[in-house]
Amino acid sequence: MSASQLDGRVVIVTGAGRSLGRAYANALADAGASVVVNDVDPATAEEAVAEITGRGGRAIASVGPVGPAETAEQLVRDAVEGFGRLDALVANAGVLRDRVLWKMSDDDFDAVVATHLRGTFTTGREAAKRMREQGEGGRIVVIGSPAGQFGSFGQTNYAAVKAGLVAMARTWSLELARDRITANAVIPTALSPMTATIPAYTELYERFVAGEPIPAEVRRESALGSPEDVAPLVVWLASEASADVTGQAIGIGGDRLTLYSHPAVLGEEYSDGGWDADGIDAAWRERFAAQAQHSGPPKRDA
């Protein structure tokens, strides 16, 4: 049996009604896990459960908006009442409210923080409590984004929460190490209704939905494939095979698998007694400027 089989494991996937979350739920169930399918949309949550059970898997729906602590408590209760335990959480639910900074409303900002950041915090907290009580280790997978790794025009809210989620995973990897609970961030890229809102990808998404194959160069150069292309990383991170992997940010999309660095110190200078602004200016021009990195996605050779 492969070490990434999940027989007997119980996994919660939030936002699993469609797209990436649905692909994760299907792949986890196919690997043998019992899945608690969460979504704020009851119809898609039920559809996802029917798809899994229809092909012989085990799944139940747990409908509610992630964010409030009550939803997180309900999710863990449903896992334990439905399947007897909890082994892994995949905190995937998310929304976009894109606007440039000067047009972004408080509501745009708060909705994104509430779903991604608070939703992952409250579900992660409840999952950790349950997994610590069980005393048999566990897995937490949070979902970042290239936007959080590099910054992203028009996504103040989203880039901030996605960077924050990676920091959460790093923090939890430290706090939960003694309990053998791993915490990692997946940085996915896939064609979904969410990516379809990005003008450069709208047409590609429409062709994908119409059943056209995704061009090989898009799978490779843009790391864009189907939601199903992302799922094997989530299965692996939920499994015994990845027991020694924690605190990492790992990207996947199309044909590309990526290991991200932790923020690294690029240079250090000292000034006895502290710094003044002129000293900082000189240090910047003479030593740091050449090492400074640009923001935004990496520029790739054509």
Ligand X SMILES: NC(=O)c1ccc[n+]([C@@H]2O[C@H](COP(=O)([O-])OP(=O)(O)OC[C@H]3O[C@@H](n4cnc5c(N)ncnc54)[C@H](O)[C@@H]3O)[C@@H](O)[C@H]2O)c1
Task: List the catalytic residues.
Answer: 145, 158, 162
**Out of 30, 41, 228, 255, which residue is the one contacting ligand X (CB under 6 A)?**
41
Residues binding ligand X: number (CB under 6 A): 30
Which positions from 248 to 287 touch ligand X by CB under 6 A, shown as an x/- string? ----------------------------------------
- 62 in contact with ligand X (CB under 6 A): no
- 67 in contact with ligand X (CB under 6 A): yes
Of 246, 191, 255, 243, the closest CA to residue 219 belongs to 255
- 66 in contact with ligand X (CB under 6 A): yes
Q: Contact, 139 vs 88, CB < 8 A?
A: yes
Cα angle 274, 291, 273; round to 5:
5
Of 1-9, 183-191, 272-280, 281-289, the window that binds ligand X (rule: CB under 6 A) is 183-191
Which positions from 123 to 162 touch ligand X by CB under 6 A, shown as an x/- string? --------------------x-x-----------------
Burial 210-221 (b: 16+ CB within 10 A, else e): eeeebeeebbee
Of 75-83, 92-100, 203-211, 285-293, the window that binds ligand X (rule: CB under 6 A) is 92-100
Of 109, 74, 68, 115, the closest CA to residue 92 belongs to 115
| C-alpha–C-alpha distance, residues 273 and 296, integer Å | 36
| C-alpha–C-alpha distance, residues 29 and 10, integer Å | 9
Of 10-18, 27-35, 261-269, 285-293, the window that binds ligand X (rule: CB under 6 A) is 10-18
| C-alpha–C-alpha distance, residues 95 and 262, integer Å | 25
| C-alpha–C-alpha distance, residues 104 and 157, integer Å | 9
Distance set, CA 134 to CA 137, 170, 199 (Å): 8, 22, 46
| Cβ closest to ligand X, residue 125 vs residue 280 | 125
| Cβ closest to ligand X, residue 149 vs residue 283 | 149
What is the CA 246 to chain-centroid distance, rounded? 14
| Cβ closest to ligand X, residue 17 vs residue 247 | 17
Minimal distance in Å, beta carbon 227 to ligand X? 6
| C-alpha–C-alpha distance, residues 191 and 205, integer Å | 6
- 225 in contact with ligand X (CB under 6 A): no
Region label for 5, one of left (φ > 0), alpha (ψ between -120 and 50) or beta (otherwise): beta
**Out of 6, 17, 159, 233, which residue is the one contacting ligand X (CB under 6 A)?**
17
| Cβ closest to ligand X, residue 123 vs residue 239 | 123
Of 65-73, 100-108, 166-174, 271-279, the window that binds ligand X (rule: CB under 6 A) is 65-73
Q: Which residues bind ligand X (CB under 6 A)?
A: 14-15, 17-21, 38-41, 44, 65-67, 92-95, 115, 119, 143, 145, 188-190, 192-195
